[in-house]
């Protein structure tokens, strides 16, 4: 029996099962609060964790605590929130109802509104923002694969949470500038939608200069909106946010050399939004491109790339046919058509 903190992963999907599984495998007392489908997979097959560097861990069903009932939150010392952004407020209410004041709650989610949504319901908890820089792919039969590199980053605070949670295969860092770093990750995550619409593996998309140019245009547009709103994103990589569009527009041979760390990705990896669209699940487009559009409209700024991505992703979700496998020329044509409609 572990004498360390009791950890509940609230909303254990791909990221939650991977992070929670590694913590459980290292001897932490971990409960995965998960949907019935995921519980059934793990109870049948166990939990297999792999990564692009060759790591492989297996946990039998007997090694794991699985729960479908939020009352498991009563015993938590640390709650890792890994639900989709649209479910954050509901999860915050459950944590408030079932956990004790002072429990440490860490948001490991995409998007920028999650900490505020949690804080509204959890004023007496030790709340930390966090970011997950790596991509996790649900392979089926209880297998979750980390397909890209990076270490977890959480908001600095008391109790040295990073030291308590860090593992050889899951390093955790505390940073005081977490909000700026989250905005940098937010910009990176804007490609989730383009990757989903392309149907391409992420590495293949990054090696296609036409796609990178569209990624660069989207990044530059969003960065201009954030700066107009007095937001200064920071990056966990040595490349400043302002230089990323220039990097993306480089010829492929030069880009491949300069951005070698960005290309530490499994050849078949796709973004989380691509996985959601392929599985006919609602995407997090509103927490990403939707956030850019709302801020731009409040500032009176035009965002033709963002508007186009929101339109096309909306059509893809309504079609409910999985990944649309659109060529980049189709997205460029729709962006031009959208601008023509606006001007007409």
At 1 the pLDDT is 47
What does the alpha-carbon distance between residue 46 and residue 58 come to, in Å, rounded to a whole number?
Answer: 7
Domains, in order of start, for the chain: 6-176 (3.40.50.720), 182-343 (1.10.1040.10)
Claim: this prediction has a pTM higher than 0.85: yes
* Tokens describing residue 171: 């390093």
Do 221 and 305 touch, CB atoms closer than 8 A?
A: yes
| 3-state SS, residue 251 | coil
Nearest to 331 by CA among 187, 207, 211: 211
CA distances (Å), origin 44, targets 21, 41, 59, 146, 168: 16, 5, 12, 21, 28
Average pLDDT of the chain, as a whole number? 94
Q: How far apart are CA 134 and CA 150, in angstroms?
A: 5
Q: Are 29 and 2 in contact (CB under 8 A)?
A: yes
- pLDDT value at residue 64: 92
pLDDT digits (tens, 9 = 90+) for 294-324: 999 999 999 999 999 999 999 999 999 999 9
Residue 331: phi, psi to the nearest 5? -70, -40
CB atoms within 10 A of CB 281: 13
Quick one: pLDDT band at residue 2, thresholds 50, 70, 90?
low
pLDDT band at 16 (very low <50, low <70, confident <90, very high): very high
d(C-alpha 255, C-alpha 260), whole Å:
8
The percentage of the chain sitting over the pLDDT mark of 90, rounded to a whole number, equals: 88
pLDDT beyond 50 at 79? yes
């Amino acid at each position: 029996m572990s004498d360390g903190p009791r950890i509940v992963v609230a909303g254990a999907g791909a990221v939650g099962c991977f992070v929670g599984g590694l913590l459980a495998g290292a001897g932490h007392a971990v409960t995965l609060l998960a949907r019935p489908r995921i519980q059934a997979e793990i109870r049948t097959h166990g939990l297999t964790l792999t990564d692009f560097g060759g790591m492989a861990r297996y946990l039998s069903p007997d090694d794991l605590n699985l729960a479908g009932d939020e009352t498991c939150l009563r015993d938590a010392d640390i709650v890792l929130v890994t639900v989709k952004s649209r479910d954050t407020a509901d999860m915050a209410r459950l944590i408030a109802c079932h956990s004790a004041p002072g429990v440490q709650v860490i948001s490991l989610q995409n998007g920028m509104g999650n900490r505020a949504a949690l804080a509204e319901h959890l004023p007496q908890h030790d709340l930390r923002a966090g970011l997950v820089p790596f991509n996790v792919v649900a392979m089926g039969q209880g297998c979750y694969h980390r397909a890209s590199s990076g270490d977890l980053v959480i908001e600095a605070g008391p109790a040295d949470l990073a030291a308590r949670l860090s593992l050889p295969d899951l390093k955790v860092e505390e940073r005081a500038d977490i909000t700026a770093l989250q905005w940098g990750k937010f910009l990176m995550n804007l490609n989730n939608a383009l990757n989903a619409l392309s149907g391409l593996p992420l590495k293949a998309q990054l090696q296609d200069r036409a796609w990178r140019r569209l990624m660069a245009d989207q990044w530059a547009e969003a960065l201009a909106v954030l700066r107009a709103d007095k937001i200064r994103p920071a990056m966990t990589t040595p490349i400043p946010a302002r230089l990323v569009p220039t990097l993306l527009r480089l010829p492929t041979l030069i880009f491949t050399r300069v951005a070698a760390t960005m290309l530490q990705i499994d050849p078949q990896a796709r973004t989380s939004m691509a996985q959601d669209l392929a599985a006919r699940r609602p995407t997090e487009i509103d927490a990403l491109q939707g956030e850019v559009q709302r801020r731009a409209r409040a500032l009176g700024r035009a965002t033709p790339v963002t508007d186009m991505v929101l339109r096309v992703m909306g059509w893809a979700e309504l079609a409910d046919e999985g990944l649309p496998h659109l060529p980049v020329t189709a997205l460029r044509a729709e962006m031009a058509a959208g601008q023509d409609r606006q001007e007409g």
